[in-house]
Every structure is written in structure tokens, then in C-alpha cells.
Amino acid sequence: MSEEIQKKLQNELDNFKKTQKELQKTIQTRQQLDGQLNENDVVKQELDRLPSDGKVYKSVGPVLIKTDLVEAKQNVSKRMDYISKEIKRIDELISALDKKHDTQREALQKLQHQFQQAQVKAALHA
């Protein structure tokens, strides 16, 4: 009985650790997306300050290529929309992983309690 609970406990602990790593990785991705969104917001603000005849250059590898101001603004807006959608998707994933993590924590605690009870019973019968 005790060995069976111990195996379940180890399995649940492995699943818990796996979910925890996945959650940490997802949070890190969220932070990177946040940084990208902030960078693009700064670029958008800079582009908004330019006069309509302002010159904008786009870095393509080691070369700077002249770009239309309207096109540059559209590209930044599209990028910000995409990043915002990704942030929303990641937030939903984080929420789901949080719930899964909590459920696993509760199951782990129950199994630990059962394991301790089995050990006490085994000690009393010995």
C-alpha cells in the first residue's frame, strides 16, 4: 500500500515540476512580449512626432533603406496589434497553467497525507 502511494506521489511530483517549468517559461515569454510591445510603442511615438515629409529609414541587415512614413507607421501598428494578441493568448495560457498547478499541488498534498498515514499504520502494526 505504501509503495503504491509512493509511486503515485512521485508521479504527481514529476507532473507538478513539469507544469512549474512550463509556467515559468510562459511567464518569461510574456515578459519578452511586454518588452517588444514597449519598444514598438516608443517607435510609434517617435514616428508620430515626425512631420509628414519626415524621412524614415529601415534597417535591413547592414543597410538602411528609405521607407515611406505612412508605411512605417502601418508596420509598427500591425506589429503592435500582433504582439497584443500574443500577450492575450499567453495570459490565457498562464491562467490555465496556474489552475493546473494549483490542482496538482492539492493532489500532491493529499497523496503526501495518505503516504504519512500509511507509514504510521505500518509502524503501529510492526
| Higher-confidence position of 117 and 21 | 21
Length of the chain measured in residues: 126
Residue 118 pLDDT grade (very low, low, confident, very high; cuts 50, 70, 90): confident
pLDDT recorded at residue 35: 98
Q: What is the pLDDT of residues 59-116, one digit of tens each?
A: 999 999 999 999 999 999 999 999 999 999 999 999 999 999 999 999 999 988 888 8
Q: How many CB atoms lie within 10 A of CB 76?
A: 20
pLDDT recorded at residue 55: 92
Supply the CATH classification number for the domain 2-125. Answer: 1.10.287.370
In the chain, where the domains are located = 2-125
Q: What is the pLDDT of residues 6-59, one digit of tens each?
A: 888 899 999 999 999 999 999 999 999 999 999 999 999 999 999 988 899 999
pLDDT recorded at residue 8: 87
pLDDT recorded at residue 115: 84
Residue 126 pLDDT grade (very low, low, confident, very high; cuts 50, 70, 90): low
Side-chain half-sphere CA neighbours of 44 within 13 A? 14
